[in-house]
Amino acid sequence: MPLPTVAAQRAALDRGETSSADLVDAALTRAAEVDPAIGALVATRDEAARADAEAADARRARGEVASPLDGVPVVLKDNLAQHGETLGCGSRILEGYRSPFDATAVARLRAGGAVVVGRANMDEFAMGSSTEHSVAGPTRNPWDLSRSPGGSSGGSAAAVAAGIVALALGSDTGGSIRQPASFTGLVGMKPTYGRVSRLGLVAFASSLDQIGPLAHTAEDCALLLDLISGHDPGDATSLPEGPTASQADLDGGVEGLRIGLPREYFETEGVRAEVLDRVRDAVAVLEAAGAKTTPVSLPNTRHAIACYYLVATAEASSNLARFDGARYGRRAEGAADLREMYERSRSEGFGTEVKRRILLGTFVLSAGYYDAYYKKAQQVRTLLRRDFERAFEGCDVLLTPTAPEPAFRIGEKADPLSMYLSDVYTVSANLAGLPGLSMPCGLADGLPVGVQILGPPLADARVLRTAHAYQRLTDHHEATPAPIDSGART
């Protein structure tokens, strides 16, 4: 089926050819048809979403449209707080928990009239690259139900790729928006760190996490980013800048744009030749449109994965200490004392991958190991950031593969290290706080391949403009999965 874009939905609303109620009904109907096979959603808001849609239609009838997303159905990743709704993070330890407030990004989305129709599955506490590590079970890729949609925002990506909604929110700590976008043929963006408030995003690694959009087009991502970005006094890491104005810059084209091609990203061991072929095809398209390419070097790239998995696990160990069974969420029954209650609640509540990362993080922060591991990782992080600063002295954006391969099969990455290496192209942007975007650039073996665009800090609009220019020249983003058999979950 043709997959709608937000731009198309807005145009139909403006012309009176559809209503928000119709769009929401279509989203909920589509979810009921295909989600039993995909597992993209952990909850839907049927009655509440229909009430929100009716309110949006009433505003439109009065000529009081709140934003370009007014009346448009969206899905939220299940680590974003929404008042009165369950907030599970794919974990047993938050069983039964309901949020008492809206995350800032969610509040801005709802103030703009967007209609939240459901919550998307995810790797537990965003720790994973496949959306297999969830108490709700795995999410499956709409392009091939035997394959992963990526992670940890795989539910958000699958919901968009399957045509349930045209737009979803995810979070990206080391590639958790961009890698699922690559695997499912979408545009997914991690904004500059601090562009979007993290207030109400359940923290995995506080210096790395960032909220961002998943959609079919860069234009749709720009619409959402412009709505949810901007300073938030409730988030100490929020940048002082106002909201982005990405839409205003979308049509600038790429004539004269200087694109850097990091040699380390094209020489990574294990990258599929077909992926590099599709990325080089994308380079050729942009060059034909007037962009100039130049080779650059990011010599510390080889240390990025090790650096990331020290910094991220250390911060996870600290952040997840609050989930102890004492204040909210699941509590072990029948414990003899407080210590046993803590131990059993955490042992029973956390899954294997989360436990692994907590243990790693606790180790690298422990006395006698802090300097050797965590402090050293922060020093390497500085070197990575300086590599990017030097590269951007001679170019405007960088272009790389997003992932070393198309979507892998569910269960294929049983070894944790092989799963971690799925993020080899994406973690550096989080460590350096850069804006990064993945967009589809073709197929390999019938599966989507993504190309990544990275920009210097605060160049979010430039990254989106580059992606938009490419999408105006190609039709890869219009490719759709085969019809989904609702009984085909395997």
Which residue pairs from 13-16 have beta carbons closer than 8 angstroms and sit at least 24 positions apart in sequence? 13/60, 13/71
Each residue's pLDDT tens digit, 296-348: 999 999 999 999 999 999 999 999 999 999 988 899 999 999 999 999 999 99
Catalytic annotation present for 376? no
Both structure tokens of 325: 């069974």
Element holding 61 (H helix, E strand): helix 46-61
Give residue 285's pLDDT.
98
Give residue 489's pLDDT.
52
User: In terms of Cα–Cα distance, which of 118, 202, 115, 186 is closest to 149?
Assistant: 186
Give residue 268's pLDDT.
85
Q: Could you tell me the domains of the chain? A: 6-265+267-298+386-478 (3.90.1300.10)
| Rounded Cα distance, 145 and 484, in Å | 9
Give residue 186's pLDDT.
98
DSSP E strands, 124-206: 167-172, 187-190
pLDDT-based confidence at residue 484 (cuts at 50, 70, 90): confident
| Rounded Cα distance, 91 and 318, in Å | 17
Burial of 78 (0-12, 13-18, 19+ CB in 10 A): buried
| Rounded Cα distance, 168 and 122, in Å | 13
| Rounded Cα distance, 358 and 370, in Å | 15
From 129, 176, 182, 345, the catalytic residue: 176
User: In terms of Cα–Cα distance, which of 125, 81, 69 is closest to 105?
Assistant: 81
CA distances from 55 to 58, 66, 169, 296, 397 (A): 5, 11, 22, 52, 42
Q: How many residues does the chain have?
A: 490
Catalytic annotation present for 347? no
User: Does residue 294 carry a pLDDT above 90?
Assistant: yes
Angle between helix 376-391 and 304-319 (nearest 10): 130
User: Does residue 257 carry a pLDDT above 50?
Assistant: yes
Give residue 367's pLDDT.
87
| Rounded Cα distance, 90 and 43, in Å | 12
User: Does residue 2 carry a pLDDT above 60?
Assistant: no
Amino acid symbol at 265 = Y
Amino acid symbol at 337 = D
More confident residue, 55 or 270: 55
- Looking at every residue in the chain, the average pLDDT score rounds to 96
Each residue's pLDDT tens digit, 57-83: 999 999 999 999 999 999 999 999 999
Angle ∠(200,384,451) on CA atoms, nearest 5? 75
Amino acid symbol at 18 = T
Each residue's pLDDT tens digit, 373-430: 999 999 999 999 999 999 999 999 999 999 999 999 999 998 898 999 999 999 999 9
User: Does residue 273 carry a pLDDT above 60?
Assistant: yes
Amino acid symbol at 270 = G
Angle between helix 304-319 and 352-365 (nearest 10): 100
Each residue's pLDDT tens digit, 120-147: 999 999 999 999 999 999 999 999 999 9
Burial code of 104-122, b = ≥16 C-beta within 10 A, e = fewer? Answer: bbbbbbbebbbbbbbbbbb
Give residue 1's pLDDT.
42
Average the pLDDT over 30-36 and give the result.
Answer: 98
* Contact (CB, 8 A) for 462 and 397: yes
On the question of a cis peptide bond just before residue 317, with omega within 30 degrees of 0, the verdict is no
Estimate to the nearest angstrom the gap between the alpha carbon of 259 and the chain centroid. 24
Give residue 3's pLDDT.
54
pTM: 0.97
From 20, 77, 238, 345, the catalytic residue: 77
Each residue's pLDDT tens digit, 92-113: 999 999 999 999 999 999 999 9
pLDDT-based confidence at residue 490 (cuts at 50, 70, 90): very low
Catalytic annotation present for 99? no
Estimate to the nearest angstrom the gap between the alpha carbon of 461 and the chain centroid. 18
From 19, 91, 134, 152, the catalytic residue: 152
Amino acid symbol at 400 = T
User: Does residue 476 carry a pLDDT above 50?
Assistant: yes
